[in-house]
Amino acid sequence: MAKKAIVKKAASKKSPKGKGSRSKLREFFTLNVGKILDSNTLRKVAGKSEWGRRVRELRNEEGMNIVTHNDRSDLKPGQYLLIDLKPLPAFERGISKETRAFVLDRNGFTCQMCGAAAGEIHPYDAGRKTRLHLGHIIDKSMGGTDDPGNLRAICSVCNEGASNLTLNRPEAIKLIAQVRRAPSKDQIDILNWLVTKFPKQASELTTEKK
């Protein structure tokens, strides 16, 4: 009995209180899989003000699949959701929030394999909204790094089937061939999309021709 008390004291000295609220939050999320939880509830569960940091630890260090409004457009700021009990792929855990935001922004919040946009209904799986992960361009087993240059946005649909698919994007020449074959209406849709995406380049091109 005395021995037990000493162990407990040593453990609490090593990580003061933080470990306790992290455990409480872990348990609470696990009991509420699939339910949207708000920040007031989580603050009460954690019993202290640093609950936000503890939630980030659960996500980044333990790989819990907790999403926020940054991941899903249907969530409001301050809402948190544990999607399922399956841990996130290990590669995402060590990647900083800043790197993640940088890569997603660079990729236009669009899956680099199928073109699905974050938060929108997935084109190949109408039952769910597109959720983006970070994937390695060169796999870590092949010597790829966690450097932003080796990361890209991949949706969960492509991510799940990614191991058996080629990770290469179609080459520009093949894309142009496809666009050439498309009906004019589709070509105009593509043109509109490109002009919206690249307004500066589009106006430079049109003024050069005048």
Enumerate binding residues for Zn ion (CB under 5 A).
Answer: 111, 113-114, 116, 155, 158
Calpha distance 13→9 (Å, rounded)? 6
In angstroms, give the least distance from the CB of 165 to Zn ion: 10
Pick the closer one to Zn ion by CB: 82 or 158: 158
**In 10 A of CB 85, how many CB atoms?**
10
Residues 6+ positions from 114 with CB-CB distance below 8 Å: 123, 124, 155, 157, 158
What φ, ψ does residue 111 adopt, rounded to 5°? -60, 130
In angstroms, give the least distance from the CB of 116 to Zn ion: 5
Pick the closer one to Zn ion by CB: 113 or 118: 113
Pick the closer one to Zn ion by CB: 55 or 111: 111
In angstroms, give the least distance from the CB of 158 to Zn ion: 3
In angstroms, give the least distance from the CB of 62 to Zn ion: 26
Q: DSSP string covering 96-146, please?
A: -HHHHHHHHHHTTTB-TTT-PBTTSEETTEEEEE--EEEEESS-GGGT--S
Pick the closer one to Zn ion by CB: 42 or 153: 153
